[in-house]
Chain A
Amino acid sequence: MNESGPVAAPKPSLFEDPAVGALYQMVLALAEEVAALREVVDAGFALQANGQPATPEAMANYVPDEDYDQERAARVQRLMAPLDELLRAEAASR
C-alpha cells in the first residue's frame, strides 16, 4: 500500500562502495524470508505430529514453546556471528 504520509529519510552511505550496503540489505531480507518460511513449515509439522490439520487458522493459533524461541535466537546468532567476529578482530588489531 502506498504511504500517504512521510516515509523514512534516505540514510548517509556507510560504505565506500554503495553495493556493499545493498548486499547487507539483500542478505537481511533473504534471512527474514527464510525465518518466516521456517516458522510456517515448523508449525505445520508440529500440528501434524499432534494429529491436527495444518489450517491457516490452526497455524496462526499455534504457539511454539520457549525451546523453539531459543532455536530462533540461535539461528539469528549464527547469522550475526561473522559481524561479531569482524568487530572482535578489528578491536584486536587496534
Chain B
Amino acid sequence: MNNAAQRTSQRSATHELTPSASCEDRGRQAFVFHTKRALGRIGATRLAGIAPESDVVTVQRALQTSPGFAAWSALNEGSQRQMWEALANMIDRQSESLEQTGSAIDAREKRGSLHLDPAFEIPEHLKNTAFHGQPGGYVATRGPLDLRAGVLQEAGGALYSRGAGTGASDSKAQAVVAFLKERFASFTPRKVLDLGCGFAGQTAGYAAAYADAEVHGIDVGAAALRFGHLRAESMGIALHLRQGDASKAPYDDGTFDLIVSNILLHEVPSPMLESIMAECHRLLRPGGIAIHQDVPTQRDDLPPLQKALSSWQTKHNDEPYWDDFAHTKVPAKLINAGFNEDRVFESYVPQVDGPLTWYFVGAQA
C-alpha cells in the first residue's frame, strides 16, 4: 500500500469534506483532547488504589462508594458531551458549504456507487440510541444532501481516540489487513463487504489495501453513507455503499470472499449479532473469510478493575450493548451460524498506532 492509500483509513485523514476549525473550535477541541488524556491518566494511575483487585463485584462496590470515582465519572461524562457539542457546533456552522462541496463532488464522474433506500426501516434500537452520545445517533438525516452524521462520526472518532491515546496514523482496517496477511498469507480477496461501515473510513482502507478487489459497504444511516460515498470519491477510491441492515444483508448467497466489521458487534443486541454471523456464513464463498474487529472486553484475563470500568460504558456512555457483548462468546455464535469449529479463530492484536488491544474474531468458510 502506498502512503496516500494508507492514509484513507487513518485518524488523520483529510479530504474535501473535512470541516475547517476556527481558532475557537481549535481551543475547544484541544481542551476536550487534553481533558480526556488527563482523565485517562488519572484513571490508569489512581483507580486501582481505591478498588483493590479481588473480584468484579467487590471492585464495583468500591467504585460505587468512592467520592473520587464519582468525580472522575462526572468529568468523563461532561467531557464526552463537550466533545460532541464542540464538533457539532463546528459542523453545523458549515453545513451549507459542506453540502455544496458534496454536491460538487457528486457532479463528477464516479468510481463507486451509492444506493440509498427511502423505504428502509431503521431498526428500533438504532432509532433510539445516540451511541456514545453522538447527537442524532448514527441515523439522523436532515434532508437529501445531509452529511452531518458522517462528518460527526469521523471527527468524533478521531478526537475521542486521540484523547484515549491513539496515534494519528492508527487504522483499524490496516490492523485487520496485517492480521489476515500473517494468518492467511495466500488469501487475496476479490470481493469485500464491510458490515456497519458508517462513514466508510475503514471501508476505504480495505479498498486501498486490496486495490484489485470490488469493495462494498452496508450501513443503516443515509447521511453517513452519503458522506462516506462522497469522501471516498473525493479521495479517488471506488466503494459501493448501500443502505441496509447487516443482519439482513441484501446480497446473494456466496457473493463475497472477505466480510469485515469494525467496532460493530458491541453496538448490536445479541439476537442481531447472531443474525449477522448467519449472514456472514450465507454470504461467503467457500474459502472466504469473515473477520470482526472490536473492543477486547470479553478477554478472560481482563483484570477485575478493567471489567468494572467496561460496565461503566453501558450506564454512562450510551453503549447499551457493551456489557452484553463483554459476556458474549462470539466463536460459539459463529459455530451456531454454520462455520466449522476448526476454522473459527480469535485473537487479541495491538493497535497499529496506539496503546490499545483489539479483539479479532472470525472464521473461514
Contact = CB atoms under 8 A, between A and B. Distances in A.
Interface string A24-64: 11001101100111111001000000000000100110100
A21 B27 contact: no
A62 B140 CA distance: 34
Interface string B149-190: 100000000000000000000000000000000000000000
A39 B140 contact: no
> Chain B CB within 10 Å — which of A7, A40, A87 has the most?
A87
Contact of A24 (B46, B75, B135, B136): B75
Interface residues of B, number: 57
Contacts of B129: 6, 9
A24 B26 contact: no
B34 A73 contact: yes
B27 A15 contact: no
B38 interface: yes
A4 B142 contact: yes
B318 A31 contact: no
Contacts of A72: 30-31, 34
Given A5-B139, A11-B315, A24 B71 contact: yes
A11 B26 CA distance: 28
B46 A73 contact: no
Contacts of A73: 34, 37-38
A67 interface: no
Nearest to B28: A36
Q: DSSP class of B's interface residues: helix, strand, loop or mixed? A: helix
Interface string A1-22: 1011111110110110000010
Interface string B261-292: 00000000000000000000000000000000
Nearest to B77: A11
Interface residues of A, number: 47
Interface of A is mostly: helix
B73 interface: yes
A80 B31 CA distance: 12
Contact of A32 (B28, B130, B133, B140): B28
Given A24-B75, A83-B42, A94-B49, A35 B136 contact: no
A89 B35 CA distance: 21
Contact of B52 (A4, A80, A94): A94
Given A5-B140, A76-B35, A83-B75, A32 B50 contact: no
Nearest to A77: B38
Interface string B19-40: 0111110111011101101110
B74 A21 contact: yes
A3 B136 contact: yes
A60 B141 CA distance: 29
Interface of B: 20-24, 26-28, 30-32, 34-35, 37-39, 42, 46-47, 49-50, 52, 66-75, 77-79, 81-82, 84, 86, 88, 92, 127-130, 133, 135-137, 139-142, 149, 315-316, 318
7 contacts: A4-B142, A29-B82, A35-B28, A40-B27, A56-B23, A60-B21, A87-B49
> 6 closest pairs, A vs B, by CB?
A91-B49, A39-B27, A5-B140, A5-B136, A35-B31, A87-B46
Given A28-B75, A31-B31, 17 more contacts: A3-B135, A5-B149, A6-B137, A7-B135, A8-B84, A8-B135, A14-B73, A29-B82, A36-B28, A39-B23, A39-B27, A60-B26, A83-B68, A86-B67, A87-B49, A87-B69, A90-B68
